Structure formats: structure tokens, C-alpha cells
Amino acid sequence: MAPPAPQPDRSGPTRRALLGSAAVLGFSAGAVILGAGAAQAAPRGAARPSTPVPEPNIYDTTAWNARPPSSPVSLAGNDPNKIIVHHTAFANTADAGTSGSFAIAHEIQDLHMDTNGWIDSGQHFTISRSGIIMEGRHRSLERLLDGDDMVVGAHTVGQNTQGIGIENNGTYTDVAPPALLYDSLVSLCAYICHQYGLAPSEIYGHRDFNDTECPGDVLYGMLPQLRTDVAGRL
């Protein structure tokens, strides 16, 4: 496989640069697949809604100084047909600002590579409790900005070539995510839906497909409102 194409420099606070877990429940290879069905991946180049959706601020892997993948990431050869929401199951501590948020991205990547044995972060994007959005697996932002094809992830068994995975830092079994995180989640989901021509109804929780508590009872219970709020942004 050819090495991934070089990404544009997003290390500074330009429009697109700023736009740019064993703690993650249910991420084991042996997770039981529930309700995965026989959904087909979306064809590439699906029609986008005509109304523009603003690009959220996303820091790419260069900006947070991610480790390089242990082997080149793969492209699925199709567009995603859904978004899958996760929580990290980390403690609900402050991760304010870019430095604290970048530290979370590093913690997730180290866990996924060194403990889980994956080539890179499993999820495509990460949102900190202070609302900072970061690219997870390398090249995920590149494909999102183009709105064509997706990187193969490692976040949901049976859905890694079909669903864009978003990690939300914290544990949302008994409490709701902070407002800053939730607002960034709405913005990111709306932009993903716009870029890939997805309907807001195609936003799911990890537990919809695998035997896991993720993304926590409270955040999972907020998914109907998330779909409504994303539809409003679109």
C-alpha cells in the first residue's frame, strides 16, 4: 500500500488549522455486534445539501503533535453512511484549552496504539470537555474536507468502514456533557452530514452496534435532541 498523501500544514491557527480508551468502553475486538444489520456504505460523492454549513474549528494531527501511525492508514473506498458517538469513559476532569485537550488526544492515541495494538487512534475525531475538536486517526480531516471517501477506523466493531467515530472526552453515564462539548458535537456532526450528504437521522451511539455502555446512558439519551439540533444547523 502506498504511504498516505502528505497533509496540508494545520499547525498554526489558520481558518482550517483551527478548523481546523482500556478506558474506552466496548472497544475490544471481541465486542458483540448488536443490530448491525446489513447496511451498505454510501457511494462516494453523495449529494450535499445546498445550504453551506460552516466548517468548525478542528485541530489536525500535526497541530497536536500526534505520533505517526505504525503503518499507513487505509481508505474505505466509499463515503460513510453514519456517525457514531462515543465517550472516552475517562474521568470528568478539566481539560481546558488546547494544551489540556491535546493531552487527552495523546492519552487516547497512546492507549489505542500501546495497549490495544492499533495502528493509530481508533476514532476519526475527538472533542474535549472544553469543546476543542481534534482529528483522531490520521487523514480523517483530509477526507472530511474533501467530502469524498473515509479513513478506515477502529472504533466500532462491524462499522469501521461505514461510520465516522467521534470520541467525547468524559464519562456520561450519570451526567450530561458540558455545554461547550455538546455545542462542538452539534457543529461537527452538522459539518460531517453536510460534507457527506448524510441525514441527521444517521447519528447513532456505539451501543447501537456493540455490547457496550458507550456513550453512557445520559449522552445516549441525548441523541434524539442531537439529531434535532444537527437538523437545525443544516
Note the pLDDT of residue 48.
56
Is the separation of the CB atoms in 162 and 196 below 8 Å? no
Average pLDDT estimate for 8-33: 34
pLDDT tens digits, 148-204: 999 999 999 999 999 999 999 999 999 999 999 999 999 999 999 999 999 999 999
Q: What is residue 38's predicted lDDT score, i.e. its pLDDT?
A: 38
Give the cell for residue 122. 481508533
Tens of pLDDT, residues 209-226: 999 999 999 999 999 999
**Full set of structural domains in the chain with CATH:** 80-233 (3.40.80.10)
- pLDDT of 78-114, one tens digit each? 999 999 999 999 999 999 899 999 999 999 999 999 9
**In whole numbers, what is the pLDDT of the chain averaged over residues?**
84
pLDDT band, residue 33 (cuts 50/70/90) = very low
